[in-house]
Structure 1
């Protein structure tokens, strides 16, 4: 849920999330094909709230939209400015790629419509067979009806528009079209409610493009500090944006981290990152943080979680949460007085007990110089909950995994000149060290390295298979 509240039936937010995934995918392809700016959350809201189309018309258009061009499906040769085919370094003619086939493989599951007499008129079993048959028709001078409707707006029997539509977008649209009207309306309303914040002009302007790429935060070639500040009066309103932003950072950084497994190659240099989350419970339940804490340290990421007391965490994550157990260092200041004393009691239990020896004398009724002494040992809390609650504000308790607790002095930044100087640094108006993503060209450049890495992995797999089969690749 955008606000982190876990209440009510999960069907509606899950269905709305699936709808938004399909719409985002649709708008990315649509805006790229139509040479429009990068879509932003406001565009998603505008799409779902289209005033000139009914829900059925909206999702029918979405289902049948040509997300790739006929040239991409046919994989025609690429040509230069002189009109001649382009060739690669091996002298092989370059061809346009079908991105849907590269991502999903055989994305057409039912080939029966293509065997109809109004279509190919022959049985086909793969996308490549369809592509070859269509190319033969084109070579004969036949016109292919790629759209789902003709110039008069009437539906056509030829199923060729299915070849150009994104399969996952089509599935998303079909789910909405095939659902009950009341169910569809509720899902739409849930999605629109989640996006309402993006109708604010200030939010719209600040989310229209990306002023930096998340990968910049772990780029060893540059040092970047990112501050995400919220006014107290705006916390409730912008919390969904903050939650989405932090979740994107965690998932993107952890997903994209790479380790060098070849011992002959140097390990990639890491840029360490500190994710400081002040007033963390105010963000609501963020499962991504709870899951990431256990593994993020291995990716060069440290998370510092700041909260007022244990009750705040327990309220959002229940008493059985794993946040505390996945933190290597715990620092406690004097806890505030709460109704159950949960924080003070938790600190006292974490400190453990110390052994106290007591000696008692028994004279056995025989006078002062007779009798015996007995020594007993008992356990006593190192600090009782009451002592923890009354701990000096100048002190702090530090717990480091594998070490004894530290009872230390609190450092106040305003008492140390070298820390005061840091607070006096002015914030730069703009930054020239980050990767801006303001259009599709810049977006493709950001992902070019990832695409090359995937191509390299694919090539190595094919080479390994060929080598094991005794073939050359």
Structure 2
């Protein structure tokens, strides 16, 4: 029945008592649905040794544990939006989890993002405006294979990713040796408030080397002895070229809170001023008051 085609019902089936689950596999084995796919799925489970089968079911139960939440059940119980609309019409969708529930329900966020990407990829053509996926605390959401896969292909179906992480160590911890993929496919990289040493070292390398001129001055003094003793003094001045990082790691870490490094693909690194949307005249009034900060009085502009 259509009303049973939900992840919550999948969770119900996975947690059936052993006898009921065996009956379920038997019914699936005899089903001709989906050109025999249901039957073959049941056969693969039944063909496994008892110990391996138990491990597979246990893993499935572990990864669907978050579905026991009543709130998750309500959210996933029915669909209220066609995600392909993201490509057809200007639409904003906000997926928000409290920080204390981020680890427990990150799977839900990953599912929603994966489904959104799939819906967009299946819709033919290019959107009038590119679809932006703004993913804050990206590394804390866990490994997202669809994002990792599509980061280099997203431009083909009109998607832009804006990924935010605290430091590169987080990205390395979540994605292992493949973490540089995200930076290699980035058209723009913004960096500010860097405290992590490894991140500072990486950013320092990205700034490249600069040629500096070093002026060296040597002075010599001498006294000749004899019938006519003489005092001798000399000065030698030399200029040499040396390579130096444009910004050293410790200089990256000491950048002010209102300063950011900006790397735009194909361009030189930029040291820019970071605009505060709550104080900048161009952005004032374009957002609701931020409850985490005191209200800001709009500056008086005289023309």
How far did residue 197 of structure 1 move? 1.6
How far did residue 290 of structure 1 move? 1.9
For residues 60 and 327 of structure 1, do their structure 2 counterparts lie closer, same or farther at Cα, with a shift above 3 Å needed? same
How far did residue 295 of structure 1 move? 1.3
TM-score by length of 1: 0.55
Paired with 1:384 and 1:52, the residues of 2 have a C-alpha distance of 62
TM-score by length of 2: 0.83
For residues 360 and 227 of structure 1, do their structure 2 counterparts lie closer, same or farther at Cα, with a shift above 3 Å needed? same
- Tell whether the 8 Å contact from 1:359 to 1:375 is kept in structure 2 after alignment: yes
For residues 169 and 358 of structure 1, do their structure 2 counterparts lie closer, same or farther at Cα, with a shift above 3 Å needed? same
Partner residue of 1:292?
150
1:342 to 198, 201, 213: 198
Partner residue of 1:40?
6
Partner residue of 1:325?
184
Partner residue of 2:28?
62
Which has the higher Rg, Structure 1 or Structure 2?
1
- Tell whether the 8 Å contact from 1:42 to 1:198 is kept in structure 2 after alignment: yes
Paired with 1:176 and 1:360, the residues of 2 have a C-alpha distance of 77
Name whichever structure is richer in strand by fraction: 2
How far did residue 353 of structure 1 move? 1.8
Q: Deviations over 1:370-425 (max 9, x none)?
A: 77643210112211111111111121110101111111111001102553423229
In the alignment, structure 2 segments of 5+ residues that lack a partner are 223-231, 290-303
Q: Which runs of 4+ in 1 moved over 6 A?
A: 363-366
**Larger RCO (alpha carbons 8 Å, 6+ apart):** 1
2:125 paired with 1:247: no
Q: What count of residue pairs does the alignment treat as equivalent?
A: 279
Q: Deviations over 1:217-262 (max 9, x none)?
A: 111xx211011000011112101111122122223323x2435xxx
Paired with 1:277 and 1:187, the residues of 2 have a C-alpha distance of 31
2:271 to 387, 407, 420: 407
For 1:367-446, what aligned pairs fall within 5 Å after superposition? 373-424=237-288
2:70 paired with 1:204: no
How far did residue 269 of structure 1 move? 5.0
2:128 to 253, 262, 270: 270
For residues 58 and 320 of structure 1, do their structure 2 counterparts lie closer, same or farther at Cα, with a shift above 3 Å needed? closer
